[in-house]
Amino acid sequence: MAKLTVKDLDLKGKKVLVRVDFNVPLQDGVITNDNRIVAALPTIKHIIDNGGRAVLFSHLGRVKEEADKASKSLAPVAADLSAKLGKEVKFIPGVTRGVELEAAIDDLKDGDVLLVENTRYEDVDGKKESKNDADLGAYWASLCDGIFVNDAFGTAHRAHASNVGVSANVSQAAAGFLLENEIKFIKDSVDNPVRPFVAILGGSKVSDKIGVIENLLDKADKVIIGGGMTYTFLAAQGIEIGDSLVETDKIDLAKELLAKSNGKLILPIDSKEANAFSGYTEVKDTEGNAIDAGFMGLDIGPKTIELFKKEIDGAKTVVWNGPMGVFENPDFQTGTIEVMDAIAAQEGAISIIGGGDSAAAAINLGRADKFSWISTGGGASMELLEGKELPGLTALTEK
């Protein structure tokens, strides 16, 4: 990539600000999924192994008022990270600026790590973090020796004080290993794919994926559509969809996408339907692509599974974003599992999951190790797939 990376930096004896993404799920103060912490370890270890003094910044959820702070402290993360690194991670609860924080950072020795409290604490008074307050970005930048490493892909599509604001006030702003890999696998694979290139898009709404569909129709050889947005495309063709999810205000758009797809859009030819979303009493496969009256499509059907397998077969680059059905329910996860397994079966292919529900499906269904890359950022990966520039990446220093 054309931006500085952490490998390009002289780190020894330097206080290095590092934006990580430790926005992990907590239940009663216990981390229930540590994937994002694990993903940040290579960059943190590289910095401290090379004599840097790592000062870590992260947000955790949304903090709108003082009452939110108690449940959104990064204290559990500091403890977990300390265990993973096998060394103390210094942490001052509740402190995001001030003399106590400054003194703790000045006391760091080579190889030490300090985690600053949740950056969103600064949002309680005027959303200073989320609105990229200039003074806050400059202040945080003043805590280091002119070196900033951004490894938080999950927030790279947002211009916040802790990424864009800090970058504007340091001499070197570089990408960490995670951010570098996200760009390499998602952006580079889409812009310069090894062909055949197959994109698979699921999820509930066409409106969430408009830009992605349009960009991938230009870049991919095939674009497979599944999930709830299937039924807006079917409705656009005058096909009965029963009580299925539909965005009536996007039907004309679906018609336009179909018209300009040149046959690249591959739609389901049958569905697994039920007579209710929950509390259903009947589940069955449709005969064709039409949904029966009083039913709703909740997964792709067996004929579609075979069709999608055929379309995926032989692919050398596969990008997948969005499940094929309501995968959280065992009755409607077959399509998602079969598509995942079909992707994994492509020997030598570059296979990428674009974060969000797709990543959750792969992890929860035990297929995470079957893919070349699983993105850590749903929104950021979506914007990359749309072909957009990410503020957090743009703000980094050119080589």
**Residue 372: how many CB atoms within 10 A of its CB?**
14
Asked if residues 96 and 117 have their Cβ atoms less than 8 Å apart, the reply is yes
Q: How far apart are CA 351 and CA 249, in angstroms?
A: 33
Tell which residue, 115, 12, 104, 17, has the closest CA to residue 73.
Answer: 115
Task: Give the relative orientation of helices 75-85 and 35-49 as an angle to the nearest 10 degrees.
Answer: 60
Reference 49, options 16, 77, 90; nearest CA is 16
| Given 3, 36, 209, 222, the catalytic residue | 36
How far apart CA 125 and CA 367 sit, in angstroms, is 43
CA distance 60 to 386: 26
Give Cα 124 distance to the centre of its chain. 25
Question: Please, are residues 163 and 155 in contact by the beta-carbon 8 Å criterion?
Answer: yes
Instruction: Clarify whether 356 is annotated catalytic.
Output: yes
Peptide bond connecting 76 to the previous residue in cis, omega within 30 degrees of 0: no
What pLDDT was estimated at residue 8? 97
List 45, 69, 90, 205, catalytic entry: 205
- Catalytic, 228? Answer no
Model confidence pLDDT, tens digit, residues 34-67: 989 999 999 999 999 999 999 999 999 999 999 9
Single pTM value for the model = 0.89
Residue 363 reports pLDDT greater than 90: no
Does residue 36 carry a catalytic annotation? yes
Q: Which of 111, 146, 211, 379 is catalytic?
A: 379
pLDDT above 70 for 1:
no
Say if CB 376 and CB 387 are below 8 A apart. no
Q: Which of 242, 325, 356, 377 is catalytic?
A: 356
What pLDDT, on a 0 to 100 scale, did the predictor assign at position 361? 86
pLDDT digits (tens, 9 = 90+) for 311-357: 999 999 999 999 999 999 999 999 999 999 999 999 999 999 987 78
Residue 205 annotated in active site: yes
Domains of the chain: 6-180 (3.40.50.1260), 193-385 (3.40.50.1260)
